[in-house]
Amino acid sequence: MLIDGCGRELTYLRVSLTDKCNLRCRYCVPPEGVKLLEHADILSLEEVLRVISILTSMGVSRVRFTGGEPLVRKNAISLIQKVANLECAPRIGITTNGVLLDDYIDYLVYSNVRDINISLDTLDPAVYETLTGEDALSSVMRSIQSCLVNGVNLKLNVVPIKGINDENIPSLAALARDYNVAVRFIELMPVGCASCYEGLSNDDVRKKLSEVYGKESLCETEGGGPAEYVKYDGFTGNVGFISPMSHSFCDKCNRLRLTCDGKLKLCLASPECLDLKALLRAGASDEDIAEAIRDAVKNKPVRHGMRFTDDRNMIGIGG
Ligand code: SAM
């Protein structure tokens, strides 16, 4: 078991496979772009597998691949297959923009990927292109259909932003009316270039949805995660709310993050981390690395108090 300094059990790891992305979402990538890491500074897939193997042997039971866009990392699927075959195999998820997902869905399902989150902020093709820089909404919709056909546990993540996609909130929620998916609204966090935009609080989103879909009824929370789920009359799936800005859930945080350059981040909002790449490349044994992790997590911040002090953009952290 991996326990931090305030007794929280750390069971969930988010792994950023790359800082590259095939979209340029305005709130994630600054207009001037980001300076990409040198190839040598990025963990090899063997190094990523080794870190995951060490952490799963220490009690991490869920691993989610993210990025950048995880599906643009060459051989991501072969890594995921190896993770699925680890002795302490975790439950595996992936967070993707969905643009390439349709090409890989069969491999992911075959590799036991049970949880797929697709980020989708609008159903309007013109807004999608303005927000992401690409005319790719139809590819994402195809991927959603493939997930539904394959029966994966599908969640659609929406970040509502004033003046950009706030008009699209009811139509996005309607996907949970029509399909067996969870549509989750995530409050915009002021990370890097996102601080130029104004997000909506989930209290406002809920008010908007109740005006359209009527009274919400609360559902059981899933897997102890930060989302609160509700259902509206006649809905097949659930609607979820992740509210890091208006409702802190640090006291229940069970997360660690591995950035693609090998930093084990202890908290999304703060720069504190353990440089695992340095240890891996200095020839540390698995036991040495496990010991260093056990020591580092003692300093996982108690809470972030909404102060985002890491100067990376979300694309470099792995949201
Ligand atoms: N490319 C993948 C994708 O689009 O899902 C994975 C990486 S992306 C950084 C992961 C998630 O972070 C997306 O759902 C995105 O909307 C969310 N995100 C990015 N910046 C954010 C911010 N400032 N506040 C809240 N969520 C953010």
Substitution candidate for ligand 1 out of 119, 189, 198, 317 with most atoms within 8 A of CB: 119
- Asked whether 67 lines ligand 1 (CB < 6 A), one says yes
Q: Which CATH number goes with the domain that contains 70?
A: 3.20.20.70
Enclosing domain of residue 124: 12-317
Tens of pLDDT, residues 87-106: 999 999 999 999 999 999 99
Domain presence at residue 4: no
Domain presence at residue 169: yes
* Cα–ligand 1 centroid distance for 262 (angstroms): 19
Domain presence at residue 148: yes
Domain presence at residue 272: yes
Tens of pLDDT, residues 42-63: 999 999 999 999 999 999 999 9
* Cα–ligand 1 centroid distance for 285 (angstroms): 34
Number of structural domains, the chain?
1
Continuous H helices in the chain: 45-57, 76-84, 101-110, 125-132, 137-149, 169-178, 202-213, 276-281, 286-297, 314-317
- Asked whether 17 lines ligand 1 (CB < 6 A), one says no
* Cα–ligand 1 centroid distance for 157 (angstroms): 8
Domain presence at residue 2: no
Q: What is the pTM of this model?
A: 0.96
Domain presence at residue 3: no
Ligand 1 atom nearest residue 21's Cα: 1
Question: Which bin fits 262, alpha (ψ -120 to 50), beta or left (φ > 0)?
Answer: left
Domain presence at residue 6: no
Domain presence at residue 297: yes
The proportion of the chain whose per-residue pLDDT surpasses 90, expressed as a percent, equals: 84
Please list the ranges in the chain whose pLDDT falls under 70: 221-224, 305-312, 319
* Cα–ligand 1 centroid distance for 180 (angstroms): 22
CA distance 192 to 245: 15
- Asked whether 69 lines ligand 1 (CB < 6 A), one says yes
Substitution candidate for ligand 1 out of 66, 73, 137, 257 with most atoms within 8 A of CB: 66
- Asked whether 131 lines ligand 1 (CB < 6 A), one says no
pLDDT at 309: 67
